[in-house]
Chain A
């Protein structure tokens, strides 16, 4: 009953959203070269289903790879900042500044630096845009660890590494997953940004671009919906991982 509700309620919300969309298009009498309506979409999916699978897979693996790199690099950077005050003070302004730079400006820079390396550029952008929240959350999580937590093991002569593995790391997991939920969306945006902007790109972003070039509005909207779907899948994959590895942090609901 409860699981049924958990699935049915969001599905109903999505159906309502599509209905309102259809209604607005119909009420305004927009032709599909101004604004496509949901009923235009199935035809686009049927016509291009192979392209959707191929391009969707490209977008997916680049996003996941970029995010994976961001997790590794962000965690390492967060550890450095969490354990060393000097590193924290040195790196923080630099990171904030880097994060503030609009990533769209990096696309031409990367394109010039690594000409023709479309896969590489895309993964790199997904990585660049998404490591910041992870680094910050791990850094803050480690540096704000209450001394008493450390002391219960330190008083027994445990090594720094043991304290990190048994206390600091698991204690930081909820913050880490909080950041990962933000990062996964960012990485996805980064991937699509490069796919859309680069000439001769690949992935769903490029498919969107080709829809635009050909004036195929139903295709463009079909891509947007596919992107939304992929984004949801990625996000809930992170939620699932969080349940598994940091489920203890969920307060029992009273």
Chain B
């Protein structure tokens, strides 16, 4: 399997008033095609920065980001993004929100075709019948579902998500994990998911990367060898519990609190 995402020796620092703030330090990550890479790490360690570098919104000070064998220097149409805030455009209906990327990426596409594509995705995430609604008429979880549809409507190679389920309650979150799993089963794409929920990382990830505290390095990589068609129950198996333990310990180390005192 070829690597779709390659992050090679990436370092980055923000220029702030009190001098440079190193955020990423010689980071190396590879994600094979159609694999799901979950990234966890202490708050403020540089996870969002990582997503902005992979999507080409920012250029790293040092090192290289490669997607599909091409060096990333600017944003590209083959990437989809979802944020913690679902950022729905209030003046558009849900359907029009989902269609937005197609207007940029495939302006020549017929409206009917674009609509059909968007409707199909909305149906898959359980939003059939809400196409004509305004974002303000939907719950947070439903808006996040629509946001996911928008992120993949143009069939990107890579979906980059920055804590997309972070603001949702536990049950809604678990529902969305399963939606995510179903979407990927229907049309595979490579995923990078930033999260602060270890259960989420194990349920969805093929690998979980633990970043150290700022400046972030790759501190630990966990191979999640669980079957692809997971259900929530799998999180209660000894194997998953063991993995969660390992991750919990690694986070503690990343936070600079060895041994759990």
Residues on A lying within 8 angstroms of B by beta carbon are 146, 148-149, 151-158, 162, 166-167, 170-171, 173, 246, 248-249, 251-252
Contact = CB atoms under 8 A, between A and B. Distances in A.
Given A155-B55, A251-B136, A149 B87 contact: yes
B75 A156 contact: yes
Nearest to A162: B104
A157 B137 contact: no
Contact of A155 (B81, B89, B103, B136): B81
B91 A248 contact: yes
A152 B100 contact: yes
| Chain A interface helix/strand/loop/mixed | helix
Interface string B129-144: 0000010110000000
11 contacts: A148-B87, A152-B87, A153-B100, A154-B75, A155-B55, A155-B80, A170-B89, A171-B89, A171-B91, A249-B90, A252-B137
B166 interface: no
B79 A156 contact: yes
Nearest to B76: A157
B100 A157 contact: no
A200 B14 CA distance: 65
B87 A154 contact: no
B101 interface: yes
Contacts of B136: 251-252
Interface residues of B, number: 26
Interface string B67-84: 000000011110111010
B33 interface: no
Contacts of B75: 154-157
B26 interface: no
A148 B57 CA distance: 11
B168 interface: no
Contacts of A251: 136
8 tightest Cβ-Cβ pairs between the two chains A and B: A248-B91, A157-B75, A155-B81, A148-B87, A156-B104, A170-B91, A158-B104, A155-B55
Interface in B32-75: 55-57, 74-75
Given A148-B83, A149-B89, A171-B91, 11 more contacts: A146-B85, A153-B104, A155-B57, A156-B79, A156-B105, A166-B100, A167-B89, A171-B89, A248-B90, A249-B90, A251-B136
A151 B80 CA distance: 11
